[in-house]
Amino acid sequence: MRKQIAAANWKMNLTYQQGTTLLQDLVTADISLKENQSAVFAVPFPYLEMAIDTVHHKYNFFIAAQNCSDKKSGAFTGEVSAEMLNSIDINYCLVGHSERREYFNESNALLAGKVNICLANNITPVFCCGEALQTREDNKQNTFVEQQLRESLFHLSKDEILKIVIAYEPIWAIGTGKTASTEQAQEMHAHIRQVLKNQYGESIAEQISILYGGSVKAANAKEIFGSKDVDGGLVGGASLVATEFTAIIKALK
């Protein structure tokens, strides 16, 4: 069975104290994950060590970085390397969130480099993809997302692609309160899996977790996660409220 993942993306929100309290509330909530389920928290860089200490005793809770450099090390002031993340036992890193693509000009080629450096440092990239509203209105979302996958992931070997988590996040649904319908989400997830199948074969495509992101909340998580090819969610706004995110974790298959 594929891994089912509820991933929180705190973005640039919460003070250290607020973040600590939120994580403490989540680890003490009545959540017991099954073997195939994980909760992943992408927190701001300065909170990583606190977050690891807070969740370390909780089964299948993991901490993620929201970004890392595509460079190995050296004179890159302000950057954080995958090697640094690995040295403090970070297991996951978001790669290519649409906000980084849009505000920091991250291209598919650059993201291929970030994927490589994460894998080289035993970090699972949560690779984000997804189309803007205009692309969907032009009905070009399938080819657009396929190109993102092709240019950032398809240089990977079969062993390597198995270490990737994909998050489909239609940009028009992020932080807007507008969710893709269950049909739209399932349709795109099935397309992504088909594209993976064409490239790597069915047994590999069936093992890769594909998360949905875009205004997931407690009230809609169960329905969205219920679709065949949706293996959980990447959650922004609703991950900042302990009761909301607890319910989202509990909605995993």
Question: Among residues 3, 6, 8, 9, which is the contact residue for ligand PEP, using CB under 6 A?
Answer: 9
Contact call for residue 175 and ligand PEP (CB under 6 A): yes
Closest CB to ligand PEP among residues 9, 148? 9
Q: Which two tokens stand for residue 164?
A: 């990737």
Residue pair 193/210 in contact (Cβ under 8 Å)? The answer is yes
Of 31-39, 45-53, 180-188, 235-243: span binding ligand PEP (CB under 6 A): 235-243
Pairwise CA distance, residues 214 & 168, whole Å: 9
Q: How many residues are recorded in the chain?
A: 253
236 binds ligand PEP (CB under 6 A): yes
Of 101-109, 138-146, 186-194, 207-215, which segment contacts ligand PEP by CB under 6 A? 207-215
The helix (H) or strand (E) run that includes residue 226 is none
- 208, 166 contact by CB (below 8 A): yes
Strands (E), 58-207: 61-65, 92-95, 124-129, 165-168
234 lies in the binding site for ligand PEP (CB under 6 A): yes
| Helix, strand or coil, per DSSP, at residue 60 | coil
Report the nearest approach of ligand PEP to the CB of residue 140 (Å): 21
- Confirm or reject binding of residue 169 to ligand PEP (CB under 6 A): yes
* Residues of span 115-154 touching ligand PEP by CB under 6 A: none
Whole-number Å distance between alpha carbons of 39 and 60: 6
| 83 is known as an active-site residue | no
Which of 131, 169, 189, 244 is catalytic? The answer is 169
Contacts of 240 (CB under 8 A, 6+ apart): 10, 13, 14, 22
Stretch that binds ligand PEP, among 44-52, 79-87, 130-138, 212-220 (CB under 6 A): 212-220
191 given a catalytic annotation: no
Which DSSP helix (H) or strand (E) runs through 220?
helix 218-225
Provide, rounded to whole angstroms, the least separation between the CB of residue 229 and ligand PEP: 18
Question: Is 235 near ligand PEP (CB under 6 A)?
Answer: yes
* Residues near ligand PEP, by CB under 6 A: 9, 169, 174-175, 213-216, 234-238
Q: Which residues does the annotation mark as catalytic?
A: 97, 169
